[in-house]
Amino acid sequence: MSVLEMKVPSPGESITEVEIATWLVKDGDYVEKDQPIAEVDSDKATLELPAEQSGVITLKAEEGDVVQVGQVVCLIDMDAAKPEGAAPAAEAPKQEEAPKATEPAKQEAPKPAAPVAAPQTYATGAPSPAAKKILDEKGMDAAQVSGTGRDGRITKTDAELAAVPALGGSPMTATGARTTTTTKLSVLRRKIAQRLVSVKNETAMLTTFNEVDMSEIFRLRKQYKEEFAQKHGVGLGFMSFFTKAVTRALQMYPDVNASIDGDFKVNYDFCDISIAVSGPKGLMVPVLRNAENMSFASVEANIKDLAVKVRDGKITVDEMTGGTFTITNGGTFGSMMSTPIINPPQSAILGMHNIIQRPVAVDGQVVIRPMMYVAMSYDHRIIDGKESVGFLVAVKEGIDNPVEILLGGDERKGLGL
C-alpha cells in the first residue's frame, strides 16, 4: 500500500506556520493530482493547497488548526482505485413509525367553579384615582409602576416619580431577533490587526490633504478608451495616472521612498508600488515592481492581473512582499475623506477618494469640476512636513495636468497609441 504524506509547504520566507482555513474535500474522498484540497491562511495571504498525487484522502487536521510548515496534514492512498462514477447516495431506509400506544380516553378535568368576583379595591396594586390620572397623562400603564402604598397600592407620589419608558416600548420587553455569532479571526486578519496597532504605536504618523481636478483625465479616458483597449487589451483606468504621478513624485522627493531600519534610513532607487486590492479574504497589497519604468498599458495590465489573482485566491506571498510606497482607493466604496494607515516598513501611503462634481474657482470664475480629495499619511520620523506637502503637490500637478506632466506633451504617444 503506497501512502503519500502531504506536508504543509512553505508559503514564503519567514513564514513558519499556517492555519487550515477550509478543507475543500471530505475525509475519504478521491482526489486528483493538483486538485485544490484546502485553503490555508498565513499571516500574509490565503493560499490553496493542491493534492500532490491522486488517491483517497485521509485528513489529519481540522479546520481552524494552526500547523507548522512541514507538518503532515493529510494522507493520500495512491493505490486506491478511482471510482468510475459517483453513485447516488443510497436513501436511508425510512424508519417505520412505531404504532402509537392506545391512549386512554382523555377525561376532561372538571372545570373549577368561577371565583366570585371580589369587590374592587385600591389595596391590590391598582393606582389611586389621583395616581391613575397622572399615569394616563404620562401615557404609562400601571403595570410598569411599583407601588409603595399599603399592599402595593400605587400612590400619587409613585406616579409622579415614575419614569416614562424609552421610545420603542416597555423597557422590560424586546422584539426581533437577538442572536449573536462568534467566529475566530483568520491568521491573516489577526496579523493585519497586530500590524495596524503597531503602526499607530511605533510611528509618528501624520496626514496631509489636498484635492485634484480629474477633468483632464476624464477627457483622455473618454477620447482614447476604445483605441487604448483595442491596442493594449486593457482599459485605461485612473490607477495608471495615479501610479505614474506617484513614481514621478517619489523621484522628486526620495525620502518619501525610504524606510527606517533601526538607526538607519534606507533609500530605494526604484519604485515598487503596492496597490491595495479588496479580496474575499480582506485587503491585499500586491506590488508593481519598478513601476517607474512601466508604461500606462503595462501598469493597467499588471494591476488587472494582480486583482484577478487576489479575487481568485491565487496571489502568492512573493507578489505581496516588498513595496516602497502604497496607493489605496477608498473611493471605490464611496469614501469622501479618510486617513490611510501606513503599510510597514514603508514610510508613506496615498489615499484616493470618490470623485464629486463640485463648484471650484478657475480663473476668477466658479465652474463645476470633477474633484477628488487625496490624503497622504507619512512617518514624521523620516519625512518632514515640507517634503510631505511637496510630494502631494507634485502628485496633484500630475493629475491636474497629465498631458504635460505625465505624457510628455504628446497624449497619443504618451498613451502608447
Residues with catalytic roles: 380, 384
Strand duo 273-275 + 325-329: pairing: parallel
Bridge partners (DSSP) of residue 328 are 351
Distance of CA 1 to the CA centre of its chain: 46
Report yes or no: 416 and 240 within 8 Å, Cβ to Cβ.
no
Q: What are phi and psi of 367, to 5 degrees?
A: -130, 160
**Residue partners of 318: CB distance under 8 A and separation at least 6:** 12
